[in-house]
Amino acid sequence: MRNKIIYWIATAWLSLGMVSTGIVQTIQMKEEADMFAHLGYPAYLMIILGVWKLLGVIAVLVPKYPLVKEWAYAGFFFTMSGAVFSHFAAGDGAKEYFGPALLLVLTVVSWYFRPADRKLQG
């Protein structure tokens, strides 16, 4: 029961974070566009990442399809670790690391504590 509670809390916060950043990126909000430019990324990448985040949340929350969930978690991990590294490479301060680092931790916690019916059997 403890693991299930940990899973759902982490997954709820992860989903909220990915949906909110996914929407902000998909609509190319000015502050997000400025951040992408600061990091040296093209503006069109925001739309790609935003849509993938939204689809990833659906994949993680919908029952069944464990292989798709694995891909979604991997995508979240690569995206958030890339964001942390990008802020590091740009010389940003700790404030800029917090969001991506938190989502990275939530990704790992959600993945680790997911119930057996949401895991690949093999």
Q: Residue 116: its pLDDT value, please?
A: 86
Cα 16 from chain centroid (whole Å):
10
Euclidean distance between CA atoms 83 and 101, whole angstroms? 8
Task: Say how many C-beta atoms besides its own lie within 10 A of residue 78's C-beta.
Answer: 12
Mean pLDDT, the chain, as a whole number?
95
Domain range annotation of the chain: 1-116
Q: Residue 72: its pLDDT value, please?
A: 97
Euclidean distance between CA atoms 1 and 14, whole angstroms? 20
pTM above 0.85, yes or no: yes
Q: What is the pLDDT of residues 60-110, one digit of tens each?
A: 999 989 999 999 999 999 999 999 999 999 999 989 999 999 999 999 999
Q: What is the pLDDT of residues 6-44, one digit of tens each?
A: 999 999 999 999 999 999 999 999 999 999 999 999 999
